[in-house]
Amino acid sequence: MVGLAAVGITVAVVLLRLCGAQTALQETRRSLSQQGFKTDLAQFDFSATPEMRKRAAALTTLGNWIRKPILMSPAGPDAAIILWKEDPMPEEPYQQSLTPVEEAVKIHRKDLEAACAAALAGPMRFDLDASKGSAMPLPHLASLQTLGRSLAAGVIIDIREQDKDGAWTNLMACTRLATGWSPEPVDFSHQTRFECAECACNAAWQALQAGGWTDDRLAALQREWESVDFFHDLPETAAFFRASMAEVCQRDRSQGRPSPPIPTPEMLFRQPGRGWGNLVARWRRICFLGGESSAEENDFLLYYRDREVELQHAIRCSTWKQMRQLPGVTNTVPFKPSYRASAYRSAAQQMIRFRIMAPKVLGDSKSLLERAAEAEARRRLVIAALALDRFRLSHGAYPKSLAELAPDFLKSVPIDFMDGQPLRYRPTADGHFVLYSVGLDCVDHGGLMPQHKEDSPAYPGSPGFVAREQVDIVWPRPASDGEANAERTAEQRFREKRRADARAKEARREQEAETARQARVKELLSAKPSRNAKEPKLDGVPLTEVLSNGKPSSRLTLDEMLTLKRIVTTNDPDIVTFELPISYDVITNEHKFHLALRLLLDAPANDAATYGSFQDCEQADNGDCLLVWNTRYDPPGQHALQARLYYGRDSLEIRGPVEPFFSSNLFQFEPFYGSFGPNGATLYAKLAERNGIYTIELTSPSGAHLKTFHGTTSNGIIDVDWNLIDDQGRRFTNDSFNTSYNITLPDSGRSENQIAP
């Protein structure tokens, strides 16, 4: 009776909580609807017209194949390098680009032309299914990001190639991605738009340095930037996420993960831990469904109502200085549930955690409003710069102050969105000007651009610039040739220092690894030989019989079959071949046997991943297996080798006897460190001794001489960079070349000639 009473009281409490939570949720929905707040995904329509869908198809064919190019390269506090004078465009100095910018743009030229035409043809919108809420796919964002970067790079490439009409078309299309696209109310979509605006702004700066543009073109571009409002649609992002969270809560109630089965008395007796865990999990699920889920949805509706109201208040501010004083602008207001949450992890709770953590994981510390404020500041800088260029066309020189632009070129003096003061402007003695906004900190740093710092960390989240709070948003003056050369020299010195530090660290690591390898080899060779005493069976057949494939010969033991026997098959001393009396057909019959035969190199008993770097299992003339090992990619010196047979079906590993082997190669190639691309090549190898003298001869595929390098090393590493300029001063443009090394080791007196593979 007591148990039944307890159950009855529990059920009554759960029902009361459920009714109360559902009533509160219905009242909140009714109140929000009366106030004009959207709470259902059905209230959102992201459909596009057939004409827009057709244009969208041309805009989204590019995929994500280009890293963000450098479009504004500082050369001093308030100057930037004119990149179309550079050949080629600079790449990110802290990452190795797999697809260099210019090469990628040229490869995808036709797709870019089609996308460019689509961007200029009319307003842009993408046909999306709002009913999917936060799970709505956004595949077009990567393509638009790529398109904006490519068009901006295309401006620079076309100006260098003296195709100014093409450059202007690319510039207008790049600008249209920021001004003509109505993004769906999703944070990532708006941030993509802001990046497109930044690319267009920097591309406009590069274009204006070329000069020769007509007033009609400059005025058209100015009107394009004047037509956009980066703040108008931001409150809708909170509304859409509110409806999305409500839909997630509803779906979790109806389709959430099933509760564990009710434990039987037998389970509670035999597996008390599991049985109790099932009871706890079921109780948490019951509590969640009995009121927590409805209370959770109610809290999310109210929380994102407040976020939408905050955004509405923020966008009414005329300056960032006013806006950043409001709650929720620079610091996220935490979500605090009104109910006492159980340990049940709902889908909505997991989503809100992801939304909070994602920007931190991606290294993006700026809020959506901060991004929008920077985009607005850049927009005003571009408009003012275009008006200044039009003034110069009309009067032959830039004005002494921005007040002279009104009313002929601007309606009024351009105001800095950050602090409400006029944009900072100063003409320079060389006939140019510096124009800037004070940035998010609202402090005037005199037009200071982000500067490279030699002690900055080398990872994408911190790309070697001063902190963002200490700089302005600058439309810089063009750097002189001397300033550009000095910056490039400093940058090259910075790259070389960082690279030398990395190589020195790697050399120390490799030396430690080599010392550990030698100790491991000594241990393996001095250990008492182990024998495979028990022979396993495959499908009831002894393994040796399977491996011999029924050959009528004397039975060999498993150790005898896995003993490495060296044979000579080539004149290349670096290619080593071992024959094993194991049927090649058996090893390669994956569908029947699931066997693999490999050569282990200095591998301890608990490490099966240490193989010869480049090896292969081939078939001998008699049908046996040949293990062919190219030693030039592994350390020279003494080694301990074993044959390893692996049976995948039963995860069975069998090793043969340890055999000593001395590799006499004088140096080791490292494909991971060697590279060759449009900006240069790296020649890398490791020597058998620390002191070495080398000569490297580079020839074209036809055998013509290109370049010769002479040098010495005291750390056992050859690390040479080639800028693709040959000994005659010509730039090498072929896609391959031959490399020949001549090595002398003075400590041992040995020498060797080797052609790099």
Percent of the chain with pLDDT over 90: 52
**Exposed e or buried b per residue across 100-122, where buried means at least 16 C-beta atoms within 10 angstroms of its C-beta:** bbbebbeebeebbbbbbebbebe
Structure confidence at residue 605 as a pLDDT band (50, 70, 90) = confident
Overall average pLDDT of the 389-406 stretch: 96
Taking the C-alpha atoms of residue 547 and residue 580, their distance in angstroms, rounded to an integer, is 10
CA 38 to chain centre: 35
Residue 710: what pLDDT?
94
Residue 68: what pLDDT?
77
pLDDT higher at 305 or 269 = 305
Residue 2: what pLDDT?
54
Q: Is the pLDDT of residue 468 over 50?
A: no
Taking the C-alpha atoms of residue 495 and residue 469, their distance in angstroms, rounded to an integer, is 26
Q: pLDDT averaged over the chain?
A: 84
Instruction: For 487-524, write each residue's pLDDT tens digit.
Output: 888 877 877 787 788 778 877 888 898 899 999 999 99
Residue 3's H or E segment, with its range, is helix 2-34
Angle between helices 187-208 and 368-395 (to 10 degrees): 20
In the block, residue with structure tokens 């050949």: 87
Residue 679: what pLDDT?
67
Q: Is the pLDDT of residue 594 over 80?
A: yes
Please identify, in words, the CATH class of the domain defined by 668-755.
mainly beta
Structure confidence at residue 391 as a pLDDT band (50, 70, 90) = very high
Q: Is the pLDDT of residue 221 over 50?
A: yes
Domain ranges of the chain: 2-36+236-316+331-361, 50-230+368-479, 527-664, 668-755
CATH topology of domain 527-664: Immunoglobulin-like (2.60.40)
Structure confidence at residue 642 as a pLDDT band (50, 70, 90) = very high
Q: Is the pLDDT of residue 257 over 80?
A: no
Residue 274: what pLDDT?
60
Q: Do domains 527-664 and 668-755 have the same CATH topology?
A: yes
Q: Is the pLDDT of residue 659 over 70?
A: yes
Taking the C-alpha atoms of residue 313 and residue 235, their distance in angstroms, rounded to an integer, is 9
Structure confidence at residue 754 as a pLDDT band (50, 70, 90) = confident
Structure confidence at residue 282 as a pLDDT band (50, 70, 90) = low
Q: How far apart are the first and last CA of the chain?
A: 85
Residue 719: what pLDDT?
86
Q: Is the pLDDT of residue 624 over 70?
A: yes
Among 81-90, 193-202, 550-559, the least confident range: 550-559
Structure confidence at residue 473 as a pLDDT band (50, 70, 90) = very high
Tokens for 125, please give them.
């919108």
Residue 399: what pLDDT?
97
Q: What DSSP string describes 188-200?
A: HHHHHHHHHHHHH
Q: Is the pLDDT of residue 342 over 70?
A: no
